[in-house]
Amino acid sequence: MRQTLQEQVNATVYQYRLISKIDIYPRLLQVYKITPFLFIAIESILFGWSGLLYGIIGLPLVSLLRFILNRLTLLRVDNYQRQRWGWSITIPYMGYSPVSEVKFGLYRKTERTMFWIGLCVLGALFPWIRQSGFFGLLLWHLWLAIPGLIICFKLRKQHYDGVVKLDTENISYYHR
């Protein structure tokens, strides 16, 4: 006997219906790729060698921080979903991000957690890393967080039980 999609508990992504598709414009992606170089140049002009140092080592440090926060969130919320996350070097989803489709509610929760707790950690480190380090790490943190926050903002009216699939050309939102 064949069930409807609403009655199926373990439905796959192929049984979902595409609700929303957000295209990533190539010009916007080019601006996004150039932005870190501008920030590093401005920071090295303002703060000298320490600004350049934090501009260079900021990306690996912030990526590690976001990885730790994401793993802790996934351990706390849904341990099974960790298999769907992995390291990516493709822009705009650099760092630890979904490599296949994930639940939208979980994606939104991890992005918000990484953003806010990441800001709190950077603020707590401020006395030890000085102003140049704080701004260098803050700029990298914002640069890595902006794509996820834009996705959450554009899909804010969608149901949390849907599925988000991230591609280099577009973002797809599926729902039963």
127 part of a folded domain: yes
- Percent of the chain with pLDDT strictly greater than 70: 89
CA distances from 172 to 39, 41, 92, 157, 161 (A): 30, 35, 15, 14, 14
Whether 129 maps to a domain, the answer reads yes
- Residue 73 domain-assigned (yes or no): yes
For residue 92, say if its preceding peptide bond is cis, omega within 30 degrees of 0: yes
Decide if 8 is inside a domain. Answer: no
- Going by pLDDT thresholds of 50, 70 and 90, the confidence category of residue 143 is very high
pLDDT at 82: 65
| pLDDT of residue 50 exceeding 50 | yes
Q: Is the distance from CB of 98 to CB of 84 less than 8 angstroms?
A: yes
Q: Check if the beta carbon of residue 58 is closer than 8 Å to that of residue 136.
A: yes
DSSP state of 171: E
Tens of pLDDT, residues 76-94: 776 666 677 888 888 888 8
Q: Which domain holds residue 169?
A: 22-175
Q: Is residue 6 part of a domain?
A: no
Task: Tell me, yes or no, whether 64 lies in a domain.
Answer: yes
Assigned domain for 31 exists: yes
Count of residues making up the chain? 176
Q: Is residue 87 part of a domain?
A: yes
With contact defined as beta carbons under 8 Å apart, do 83 and 146 qualify? no
Q: Name which residue leads in pLDDT, 159 or 29.
A: 29
Residue with tokens 């990298």: 140
Identify the CA nearest to 84 among candidates 96, 67, 72.
96
Residue partners of 32: CB distance under 8 A and separation at least 6: 91, 92, 146, 147
Nearest to 50 by CA among 124, 130, 122, 126: 130
Position 160 confidence tier, pLDDT thresholds 50, 70, 90: confident
Average pLDDT over residues 146-166: 86
Residue 105 has pLDDT above 90, yes or no: no
| Residue whose tokens read 């950077």 | 122
Least confident of 83-87, 115-119, 136-140: 83-87
Torsion of CA 36, 40, 43, 49, to 10 degrees: 160
**In this model, does residue 53 exceed pLDDT 60?**
yes
The number of folded domains in the chain is: 1
Full-model pTM: 0.83
pLDDT of 141 > 90? The answer is yes
The answer to whether residues 122 and 137 touch, using CB atoms and an 8 Å cutoff, is yes
**Chain mean pLDDT for the chain:** 83
